[in-house]
A = this chain, B = another copy of it.
Amino acid sequence: MNDAQRLPSYTLVVSCPDRVGIVAAVSRFVADRGGSLTESNHHTDVAQGWFFMRNVISAKSLSVSLKEFRDEFAPLAEELGMSWNLRDNNQLQRVVILASHASHCLADILHRWKSSDLACQIPCVISNHENLRSMVEWHGIPFHHVPVPKEDKSEAFRQVSEIIERHRAETIVLARYMQIIPPQLCSEYAGRLINIHHSFLPSFIGANPYLRAYERGVKLIGATCHYVTEDLDEGPIIEQDVIRVNHSCDKDDMVRLGRDVEQSVLSRGLRYHLEDRVIVRGNRTVVFTS
């Protein structure tokens, strides 16, 4: 699954109205330039008449440069009405992480990053608390403390946005940030802003999901990784998972057990996003996991 990331490679992702011959056209285009496919996934949404494709192409097999590939592919893409993206997998994405007081999701991402399990750059971490500074800085990553006062959050988010821009973040991760993002930033970072919600959405949208799960007496609790939109906890879902609980679990136990699900769901969702496995259409996602 990851060979593509290990050797120089490009990932081509396209989506467009479905019609006969798209696969033929795209794969012919790649083959004509010597391109060897190490991964290839297609999906046709028959009901919606929409086509999705992800190809990982061995870089050294190609007879053209990335720029030439792009220039030559553009007319074909236009002809087929494609949304498309071609990424050089050697250019690691820049990911800015926002955290609050809780450490588990952030610690998990930082460890995966440090041990080269998650291929990205992390130019900085932003938090509204100071308590995680030492952990972040031990990893050699700058830490920005931006308090978010309850009475007026606009200046704080102006600062947050400025830091994100300054670090040229391509992806922003809310690692249990616990703050509602202003609508303007949601739309500005549409498809690039990833949240982990501590419930199996659409159950327990909003605050205190574990308490409400406890009170409802559910037998499984979960977590949801999704793109953030202006509608709280309503954005396109990337990944979800659950864990079993029972009557002996009080609310604190659920919080503790839930942490493990949160961090694994977030790290999987983030990986899918970074490897260009996720394509959003409407409020649903295509996720080519293998």
Contact = CB atoms under 8 A, between A and B. Distances in A.
Nearest 5 pairs of A and B residues by beta carbon: A217-B284, A21-B31, A24-B27, A23-B27, A248-B290
Interface residues on A, range: 35 or more
Contacts of A286: 247
Contact of A103 (B41, B61, B115, B264): B115
A220 B240 contact: yes
A20, A43, A239, A252: residue with the most chain B Cβ atoms closer than 10 Å:
A20
Which has the most chain B C-beta neighbours within 10 Å: A134, A238, A290? A290
Interface of A: 1-3, 6, 18, 20-21, 23-24, 27-28, 30-32, 34-47, 52, 61, 103-104, 107-108, 111, 114-115, 117, 134, 138, 200-204, 215-220, 222, 236-242, 246-250, 252-253, 256, 259-260, 264, 283-287, 289-290
Contacts of A204: 202
Most chain B beta-carbon neighbours within 10 Å: one of A37, A114, A239: A37
A38 B44 contact: yes
B220 A242 contact: yes
Contacts of A34: 20
Given A21-B31, A24-B27, A200-B200, A250 B1 contact: yes
Contact of A256 (B2, B40, B46, B104): B2
B24 A31 contact: yes
Contacts of A215: 283-284
Contact of A111 (B104, B200, B290): B104
Given A20-B61, A37-B42, 9 more contacts: A1-B250, A21-B28, A23-B23, A39-B248, A107-B115, A217-B285, A219-B240, A220-B222, A220-B242
Contacts of A3: 46, 250, 252
Contacts of A216: 201-202, 237, 283-284
